[in-house]
Structure 1
Amino acid sequence: MSDDYGWLISRETAGLRRYARALVRDPVRADDLVQDCLERAIRKRKQLRSQGSVKSWLFRILYTVYLNGRKTRYAAPTDEAIEETVSIVQPAQHKQLECKTILEALDRLPEDQREAIMLVALEGVSYTEAATILGVELGTLKSRLSRGRETLRQIHAITEEKPPSTATLRRVK
């Protein structure tokens, strides 16, 4: 592997890890997903020239590897595993509680909407790149984003009206 190629890949590794954690929601499985992605990228590095940007190419590989293993290797974690990935929340720690609420809201989205929102909002990729990574038409991506954002607004409105119960707070401790 040339130094230039390694440098190009290393620039995107943090973003790949964030997106993998958003998809898998288990740090260990997410790291495995990134590792599998990078191994495939190294094996298929000759395809890079015809694929456009390194970032889009790597995220497409990551997403493809995820799709191929989501029923087995990268299956959704149990509730216990999800709770381990979220910081312990004390009632007075409003920012952590807000982050936990956002994570829970994202978990309630359909998978296709969550994947689109996380790519655009978390990783800041363009709509065109996100559509390419997810293997969908641009209009489909925009529709998923629109529906996902609307669902998040509705969830936010509901949680604003009703503060979390103390039973919920105790369960997270």
Structure 2
Amino acid sequence: MTLVLEEALPLIPRLRRHARLLCGDAARADDLLQDTLERAARKGALFHADGPGRPDALRGWLLTLMHRLYLNQRRDAREALHDSLDEDDTPLPLAPEPQQQVALRLDLERALAALPAASREILLLICVEELSYQDAAGVLDVPLGTVMSRLSRARDRLRTLMTDGAPARAPLRVVK
């Protein structure tokens, strides 16, 4: 178990980035990352991979743990609030950060937040985490064709949000 955590240390920045983009909130992302690492520590004996592909296999295993924990947290929150809305119809807002000065980045984050959760997840796994379609299908536990169709729809929707339907940019002020 300790070996898995030691090997996971270099992956923490990427895992945190993925959690941050998935949750849209720094505090919730840190909680998700901590829960993922705790579960990896407890379930480390279940991870079996040897050879040169071990780091990639570990990253995929940790992303799978994180994805399932994220889904569990969403389900629990929905049940706690007795929310009747479909989870894919409720975009998660991103918290603004002072260091984000570039308007395009702000528009991209807003567009990502406006995407349904399933679309956001597949874009993050394929485009940000650079997983193969097969690996992303394994993380999400869906067929390969589902990954390809979700990715295509997500890219189209993101493109629409970034061009025609993008939120109006607030004018930036130059601060000395």
TM band (smaller chain)? 0.7 to 0.9
With normalisation by structure 1, the TM-score equals: 0.78
Q: Where in structure 2 are the equivalents of 1:23-38 lying within 5 Å?
A: 23-38=22-37
- Give the aligned CA root-mean-square deviation in angstroms: 2.9
Q: Where in structure 2 are the equivalents of 1:72-91 lying within 5 Å?
A: 72=76, 82-83=94-95, 85-87=96-98
Distance 1:88 1:35 in 2: 24
Which structure's residues are more often helix, by fraction?
1
Shift of the 77–34 alpha-carbon distance from structure 1 to 2, 3 Å rule, reads farther
Question: What are the superposed Cα offsets for residues 76-133 of structure 1, whole Å, 9 maximum, x if unpaired?
Answer: 8985xx34x33366xxx5xx11100000111111110110001111111111111111
Gaps of 5+ in 2: 82-89
| Cα deviation, residue 13, structure 1 | 1.1
Which residue in 1 is equivalent to 2:62? 58
Distance 2:150 2:91 in 1: 24
Q: How many residues align?
A: 157
Distance 2:171 2:37 in 1: 39
SS at match of 1:49: coil
SS at match of 1:70: helix
Distance 2:36 2:122 in 1: 19
Gaps of 5+ in 1: none
Matched residue type, 2:10: R
Q: 2:148 aligns with which of 142, 151, 156?
A: 142
Identity %: 35
